[in-house]
Amino acid sequence: MSHTPKTFRDIEQFEVKTKNLQQEKHLQQLKVLLPSLPPYVFKYFQKNRKRSATTLFNYANDYKLFFNFLADNNWVLETINKDTISPVDIPITILAELPLEEAEEFQGYLDGKYEQRTVNRRISALKSLFNYLTQKSEDPKTKEPYFYRNVFAKIETTKVSSDPVKRADSFEQKIYRGNEDIRFLDFIASDYEKALSPIQLRFFLRDKNRDLAILSLFLGSGLRLSELAFLQLEDINFEENSLGVFRKGQSGKVYVTVNPRAMDELKEYLHTRTENYGCANDEKHVFFTRYKGSYSPLSIRSIQDLVEKYSKAFNVNKRLTPHKLRHTFATKHWTANKDLIGLQTQLGHTSSEITSSYTHVGKDKQHKNLENMDKLED
């Protein structure tokens, strides 16, 4: 069975409609990933150009993980009678003959590393790929699909409960509660540097204003990681204390309100940005890093790493992610305002059912309320 090899020219000419800067960046990152995937997978992406660049980029990452797994799999190596193989060279016959046991092993691998929603999404991406290869593809010679056996159709995923109470319970212990978020920011501002070596201190002082701005924005607005990572100077409105972002389901930019402390931290960072990173004053991207004498936009991965680093230093038993900082903001917003529609708008949720999770956080206060009621009966 033959497959048209994908060339760099094919990849350069691969285009998907993009609506904003974030999707344009994901398209470029997708083009970087495609050469590491087998040719028949590239055909899948050509067939699915109507999907957003962000969705296709996420799928490419899922497939890269899967083919890396196959390249290290003993059954694969024994089947092709080789000691090693590159993921890009995995023959399509491996997918056609992949035993259910090996597919379930990959699912188990995911279960050990990721949350259930992420596992489900990655299995869903593979179901989509295998559905294309077994039903919608066409081999140039046979005019038939590449193969007919879809092993991932046999893989069942674990349904994630939509019960808002259960969803709230799942993350209540993984967020900052009460005034813990304020103490966390104060710790970074005043105490974190006390335990650093001279070299660590030098880099921390360079990045301090930037990192405080990032952490404050997560905790003071509920921004998503991608929204913060792709923030542009033109998106900032200091007069209205708001930031413009592109959100799913929105045709244009929407403005998200930010608390004054976070905007002050952002302003302080912008005052030192050019001096610390060497970028021009009018450089459109907001957050930068500096390496070997040149500056570049701060990546999503770098933002994730700095959140984990600081939260671990603050409390080794509570390592947070940007998403957990967003949960922290949402929980605090609900506790203070009891405004479900306002919170839904602030977070950019398309469904109030998702937002309602936060209305069930705060069981300690519920217990206290009942205790106070009991006291009235004495």
Active site residues: 224, 248, 323, 326, 349, 358
**With the C-alpha atoms ordered 55, 31, 25, 47, is the resulting torsion angle positive or negative?**
negative
Q: How far is the C-alpha of 177 from the C-alpha of 361, rounded, in Å?
A: 10
Using H for helix, E for strand and C for coil, what is the string for 206-268?
A: HHHHHHHHHHHHHHHHCCCHHHHHCCEHHHEECCCCEEEEECCCCCCEEEEECCHHHHHHHHH
Residue listed under structure tokens 């150009």: 49
CB 60, CB 37: distance < 8 Å: yes
The percent of the chain in helix, strand and coil, each rounded to the nearest 5, is: 65, 5, 30
Beta bridge partners of 130: none
How large is the angle between the packed helices 322-337 and 164-172, nearest 10 degrees?
A: 120
CA-based R_g, the chain, Å = 24
| Distance of alpha carbon 358 from alpha carbon 337, whole angstroms | 12
Long-range CB pairs of 175-182, under 8 A, 24+ apart, other chains included:
175/320, 175/324, 175/325, 175/327, 175/328, 175/331, 176/219, 176/318, 176/320, 176/325, 176/328, 177/328, 177/331, 181/219, 181/325, 181/328, 181/329, 181/332
DSSP string, 281-301: TT-SB--EEEETTEEEEPPHH
**CA–CA separation, 255 vs 249, rounded Å?**
14
- Distance, in Å, from the CA atom of 200 to the CA atom of 119, rounded to the nearest integer, reads 36
Q: Are 17 and 162 contacting, i.e. CB atoms less than 8 angstroms apart?
A: no
Interacting residues of 350 by C-beta distance below 8 A, sequence separation 6+: 248, 249
